[in-house]
Amino acid sequence: MKSYLTPIVYPTSEEEAFKWGFDVFKPHGTPMAWVIDWESGSAGYGLPWERVKEVAQFKVGEDLSKLTVDEIFAAHTYMFKLQWHSIFKTIENRYGVKEARQIARDLGYPMGKRGWTLLMERFGSPVPLDKAAWYQDIAHLLYGPDTHAYSWTDGEKSVCARTRCLFHQPEEMESNSVYPRSFCDSYIEAYMDVEPGLFCVRSPHYCLDPDVPGEGDGKRCVHIWTYEKSIIDAMPEKWKAAIPPTTKEVLRKKGAKV
């Protein structure tokens, strides 16, 4: 962790490009980041995933004082994920998918509004793009080790790529994928509602495209924040087509061609 931006080596390997989302949004100039190595970012981040599941499944000794802070924090994050998705599965079983998706949107909007409002109070409006990247880092850091995110800025946009997201459905709940998407759509739409001139797009549908090599598993989403409408206007039509209708409506009200 550090208190200054660091250049990211680019161009780089395909694996690194995928991790940072360079294959989706190419940097203009030198991409800069606050956090480089999430594996050692904070408590729990360097813990093997198998050990996290062992703790969460109670496969530990009887003496709980032997559990480390890393193990407790990482397992807590995983338990939060399971509880979040269990709640939405219960809502779905009671009221159906459509209502459950609306509840996910109803939950996401005030959370997104609160998050960006706090950022505006902290850094002013418009929020500087480097601070938008910083915000993504601290938000994902606070969500815990199951939410690795790689955020960067090139001065004209900030991008966040997530290969491990806290709200991504667990393996045993793959059908829940619609709920984190609805939640996140509403979240970023709230950003744009409270910040004049901000354009924000999430592109998980692009990442779910089975025709794109290495991206058919759908376990990555990529976000972009910018105050340059031309960047949104210039997005490939394939990506524009994948933008959710509710997000398109907000973008169009701001003058974007989507």
Return the pLDDT at 9. 83
Pick from 4-13, 179-188, 193-202: least confident = 4-13
Residues 72-81: tens digit of each pLDDT: 999 999 999 9
Residues 36-95: tens digit of each pLDDT: 877 666 678 888 889 999 999 999 999 999 999 999 999 999 999 999 999 999 999 999
Percent share of the chain, pLDDT over 70: 92
Return the pLDDT at 210. 42
Return the pLDDT at 40. 64
CB 101 within 8 A of CB 68: no
Q: At residue 215, does pLDDT exceed 70?
A: no
CB 44 within 8 A of CB 70: yes
Residues 144-176: tens digit of each pLDDT: 887 888 999 999 999 999 877 888 888 788 888
**SS3 string of the chain?**
CCCCCEECCCCCCHHHHHHHCCCCCCCCCCCEECCCCHHHCCCCCCCCHHHHHHHHCCCCCCCHHHCCHHHHHHHHHHHHHHHHHHHHHHHHHHHCHHHHHHHHHHHHHHHHHHHHHHHHHHHCCCCCHHHHHHHHHHHHHHHCCCCCCEEEECCCCEEEEECCCCCCCCHHHHHHHHHHHHHHHHHHHHHHHHCCCCEEEECHHHHCCCCCCCCCCCCCEEEEEECCHHHHHCCCHHHHHHCCHHHHHHHHHCCCCC
| Prior bond of 27 cis (ω within 30°) | no
Among 25, 32, 7, which Cα is nearest to 130's? 32
Q: At residue 178, does pLDDT exceed 50?
A: yes
In the chain, where the domains are located: 6-43+100-253
CB 226 within 8 A of CB 258: no
Mean pLDDT, the chain, rounded, equals 88
